[in-house]
Amino acid sequence: MAINRREWIQQSLLASAAMLVAGTTGAYGCASGIRERKIAGSPILLNWNENPYGPSVSATEAVSEAIKNANRYPDDYIVKLKEKLAKLHSVKSENLLITAGSTEVLSLLGQHVGLQKGEILTAYPTFPTMIQFGERVGATIKKVDLDNNNRFDFDRLSKAITNKTTLVFVCNPNNPTGTEVQTEDLKSFCRSVPENVLVCVDEAYIEFSEAGPEGSMVSLVSELPNLIICRTFSKVYGLAGLRIGYAISNSANITALRNRHLGFELSAGWAPLVAAGATLDDQKFIQMCVQKNNEGKQIVYDAYDEWGVKYNRSSTNFIYTQHDRFDKNVVTKMRERGILITKWPDMYDHIRVSVGKPAEMQTFVEVVEEFLV
């Protein structure tokens, strides 16, 4: 039906107004959708699981060289990075989609489920991005509990799959609990999910886990047409601010995701692409980050053990800790002391502390001790 220009403008404004009204709560429930971190001085940032050692020198050098090409579209380098990743994961380039952080993969999948009014099944608490995007466009969310050790519980998940389930989301290691599951258990679960139900495994922290990169589900991609893995360069690779991640799946799923992708897979520009490529080649940097992260964790474990505070030994770069041994306003009080830690509204009775440099963790321990109850 033809509409005139005036009607079109009215409709598009109405449409965008409706979207604005619907979208008042952004990621992590902040009103602007932008997660603010304004605080006087130089706060110790232990709230977003960033890598305090990044970016690597190899990444910054690659970026300063690549910026000279910023007048050109980066398509060729997308091809190059995919070749590198394909080799690393023993898949083909057609199995990969490069995105602006893994948030884009999660949002595309959430929207995919929501647009067909489908259902996302997951265990909770877990990383909420896909759920939030799905809910906004009509997905139903079904949550089961984690097990008693705050890990994904595959018995519960399997029993919860019905003919309404469109996608099962598994975060391994899990955010916010920091726990990982046995690789073989996750493989068996992935294999057990009916082929018409998608399985997304978010491996944002896999490099920090006990299993390490070997614990990835990537070897199942050629076997399971319903499996999608998302990975990020924001964590051990130290590139959170450059926004780059990727999906690994069979080529049909990758094509479907690319067709929905608003940027024709061009949302990562030169800088993130070359930084990712250089850091992939810099295994020394990765090993240093993992080792230093372990040192930082140990400082906190030692203090918590001494105080009798319960926590999960972490397979990530953050520690999930029982809240009740601390002042109920510990997050705010730490903030007032210049140390940012996290508590999401649905983290029940826990707080989450990202692992910074050892000196930062020492300071964290000294300050948080004041808020023990």
Q: Mask of contacts with ligand PLP, 174-193, x by CB under 6 A?
A: -x------------------
101 binds ligand PLP (CB under 6 A): yes
Stretch that binds ligand PLP, among 22-30, 98-106, 260-268, 305-313 (CB under 6 A): 98-106
Q: How far is the CB of 54 from ligand PLP (least distance, A)?
A: 12
Binding mask 247-286 for ligand PLP (x = CB under 6 A): ----------------------------------------
Does 202 bind ligand PLP (CB under 6 A)? Our answer is: yes
Is position 127 an interface residue for ligand PLP (rule: CB under 6 A)? yes
User: Closest CB to ligand PLP among 77 and 233?
Assistant: 233
Q: Which residue has the tokens 């398509």?
A: 75
Q: Check residue 354 for interaction with ligand PLP (CB under 6 A).
A: no
- Residue placing its CB nearer to ligand PLP in the complex, 98 or 303: 98
Nearest to 179 by CA among 154, 159, 205, 157: 205
Residues 6+ apart with CB under 8 A from 90: 218, 219
Among 51, 226, 234, 250, binds ligand PLP (CB under 6 A): 234
Q: Is there binding between residue 172 and ligand PLP (CB under 6 A)? A: no
Closer residue to ligand PLP (CB): 200 or 303: 200
167-to-75, 119, 122 alpha-carbon distances in Å: 31, 7, 9
Q: Which range, of 66-74, 96-104, 131-139, 307-315, touches ligand PLP by CB under 6 A?
A: 96-104
Query: Quick one: which of 102, 111, 279, 317 contacts ligand PLP (CB under 6 A)?
Result: 102
Give CA–CA dist 194/360, Å, rounded.
46
**In the sheet that 198-202 helps form, which strands lie side by side, from edge to edge?**
96-99, 245-249, 227-232, 198-202, 165-171, 119-124, 140-145
Strand partners, 229: 201, 248
CB of 204 to ligand PLP, least distance (A): 4
| Dihedral angle sign, alpha carbons of residues 248, 249, 250, 254 | negative
Distance of CA 83 to the CA centre of its chain: 23
**β-bridge partners, 169:** 122, 200
C-alpha distance from residue 330 to each of 57, 154, 340 (Å):
36, 33, 10
Distance CA 248, CA 201 (A): 10
The residue (of 303 and 319) whose beta carbon lies closer to ligand PLP is 319
Residues near ligand PLP, by CB under 6 A: 49, 101-103, 127, 171, 175, 202, 204, 232, 234, 240, 245
